A and B are shown apart, each in its own frame.
Chain A
């Protein structure tokens, strides 16, 4: 694993293993805590969203060798924190993922997965995916409280 500061970037390259999830969550939260204007609740939202993105990345690497790392880049500026999670998996079609049934629909309670993307959208101010057969980049952004107020 390497960790480097490039400008205000924090970059992690991790093996595609679930036991690195906690480290990713901790580093992203620590980077966000540098600016107290994010607020604990928004940092908690970002921590969960990044955990979901990294979980998907680890799954995407299931068919790859352990030499292929997942790259997490975290950039904090005056107004926002941006996190990119980059995997080298086979890619996916975000538009091909069916919507979750309503919670009142009994079929919903057969769904034990598939909440990752909806959560990332809900928990962040911006979220986007770029995916092809060389991998997927998920970009998540949370703005500071004062930026959202202005």
Chain B
């Protein structure tokens, strides 16, 4: 059954590591994203883009992992940007005011250009 076995693509793009989950980002799958963030930061890659362009659904657990990724990256001198949010994801970030913390309307090119 989908969900737990989240597909995830990780690749470098310029100075940024792009982590791109595929599928639903919920309790079953979000730990995999957290694991990729921890691995990247431990390797010294602290500038991360979480590309949500292939995420069909995200809930508060997925949101929590992204908040945690930002805290982890920033405490190591880095940053987390988001790209490719669906309507559902954007609405969720707005609902909990996290659109004031993350830019939620960027594509991958804009996200890998870093904060404006």
Genuine A/B complex = yes
Residues in chain A within 8 A of chain B (CB atoms): 17-23, 25, 44, 47-48, 51-52, 55, 58-59, 100, 102-104, 109-113, 115-116, 118-119, 122-123
25 contacts between A and B (CB under 8 A): A18-B27, A18-B29, A19-B28, A21-B24, A21-B27, A22-B2, A22-B24, A22-B26, A22-B28, A25-B24, A44-B88, A44-B91, A47-B57, A48-B59, A51-B59, A52-B59, A52-B60, A55-B59, A103-B97, A103-B98, A112-B65, A113-B64, A115-B63, A119-B96, A123-B95
B13 contacts chain A at the CB level, 8 A cutoff: no
Residues of A within 8 A of B61 (CB): 55, 113
B100 contacts chain A at the CB level, 8 A cutoff: yes
Nearest Cβ on chain A to B99's Cβ, whole angstroms:
9
* B74: nearest chain-A partner, CB-CB: A109
Nearest Cβ on chain B to A18's Cβ, whole angstroms:
3
Q: Is the CB of A22 within 8 A of B1?
A: yes
* A18: nearest chain-B partner, CB-CB: B28
Q: Is the CB of A21 within 8 A of B26?
A: yes
CA–CA, A46 and B12, complex, Å: 37
B67 contacts chain A at the CB level, 8 A cutoff: yes
Contact of A51 among B4, B26, B64, B68 (CB under 8 A): B26
Contact of A23 among B1, B59, B71, B95 (CB under 8 A): B1
B10 contacts chain A at the CB level, 8 A cutoff: no
Contact of B68 among A20, A112, A118 (CB under 8 A): A112
Q: Is the CB of A116 within 8 A of B3?
A: no
Residues of A within 8 A of B95 (CB): 119, 122-123
Q: Is the CB of B101 within 8 A of A103?
A: yes
Nearest Cβ on chain A to B9's Cβ, whole angstroms:
20
Contact of A115 among B2, B3, B96 (CB under 8 A): B96
Residues of B within 8 A of A52 (CB): 59-60
CB interface residues, B 60-94, toward A, < 8 Å: 60-61, 63-65, 67-68, 70-71, 88, 91-92
A47, A52, A109, A115, most chain B CB atoms within 10 A: A115
* B29: nearest chain-A partner, CB-CB: A18
Known: A18-B27, A44-B88, A109-B67. A104 touches B100 (CB 8 A): yes
* B57: nearest chain-A partner, CB-CB: A25
CB interface residues, B 15-29, toward A, < 8 Å: 24, 26-29
Known: A52-B60, A104-B100. A19 touches B68 (CB 8 A): no
